[in-house]
Structure 1
Amino acid sequence: MTTWAMMSPYLSQVEVIVLADAMIRGTASDIQVTKDDIVRFLRQVDFPGKTKCSATLPFLDNVTDSPMEARTVLALLGDGLPRPETQWTMYLPELRTVAVVDMAYPDARTIIEYDGDAHRVDKQQYRRDDRKRQAFRAHGYTVIVVFADDVATAAGRRSLTRRVAQALGVPVTGRPLPQYAALSNDRRLAEQRDRQRRCRNRRRRRGGA
Structure 2
Amino acid sequence: MSPPARAWFECAETFSVADLVALGDHLVGKAGLATLDDLAAAIRPGARGVRTARLALERIRVGAESAMESHLRLAVVDAGFPEPELNVDVHGADAQFLGRVDMAWPTYRIALEYDGDHHRDQDTYRHDQRRNNGFTVNGWLVIHATAVDLARPAVLFERLRRAFADRAGKTRRG
TM-score tier by shorter-chain length is 0.7 to 0.9
Choose between structure 1 and 2 for higher RCO, CA contacts under 8 A separated by at least 6 residues.
1
Match of 2:18 in 1: 14
Match of 1:40 in 2: 41
Distance 1:16 1:61, change over 3 A: closer
2:13 alignment partner, SS class:
helix
Distance 1:93 1:107 in 2: 14
Match of 1:74 in 2: 74
Alpha-carbon shift at residue 77 of structure 1 (Å): 0.9
Over the matched positions of the two proteins, sequence identity in percent amounts to 27
Q: How many residues align?
A: 162
Greater fraction helix: 1
What is the RMSD of the two structures over their aligned residues, measured on CA atoms? 2.3
What code does the residue aligned with 1:134 have? N
Distance 1:69 1:124, change over 3 A: same
Alpha-carbon shift at residue 93 of structure 1 (Å): 7.0
Alpha-carbon shift at residue 159 of structure 1 (Å): 2.2
Distance 1:58 1:3 in 2: 18
Match of 1:100 in 2: 100
Distance 1:17 1:165, change over 3 A: same
Match of 2:7 in 1: 3
Match of 2:60 in 1: 60
Match of 2:170 in 1: none
TM-score between both structures, scaled by the size of structure 2: 0.82
Question: Do 1:89 and 1:101's aligned partners in 2 also have CA atoms closer than 8 Å?
Answer: yes
What code does the residue aligned with 2:137 have? A
Map 1:127-146 → 2, pairs under 5 A: 127-146=126-145
1:89 aligns with 2:92: no
Distance 1:119 1:53 in 2: 33
1:118 alignment partner, SS class:
helix
What code does the residue aligned with 2:143 have? I
Distance 1:80 1:101 in 2: 21
Alpha-carbon shift at residue 95 of structure 1 (Å): 10
TM-score between both structures, scaled by the size of structure 1: 0.69
Greater Rg by CA: 1
Distance 2:10 2:40 in 1: 16
1:140 alignment partner, SS class:
coil
Question: Do 1:92 and 1:99's aligned partners in 2 also have CA atoms closer than 8 Å?
Answer: no
Alpha-carbon shift at residue 49 of structure 1 (Å): 0.4
What code does the residue aligned with 1:119 have? H
Deviation digits for residues 122-158 of structure 1 (CA, Å, limit 9, x no counterpart): x33222221111111111221101111111x2xx222
Question: Do 2:21 and 2:56's aligned partners in 1 also have CA atoms closer than 8 Å?
Answer: yes
The runs of 5 or more residues in structure 2 that have no matched partner are: 167-174
Match of 2:160 in 1: 164
Question: Do 2:28 and 2:62's aligned partners in 1 also have CA atoms closer than 8 Å?
Answer: no
Distance 1:94 1:115 in 2: 27
Runs of 4+ in 1 over 3 A off after TM superposition: 92-98
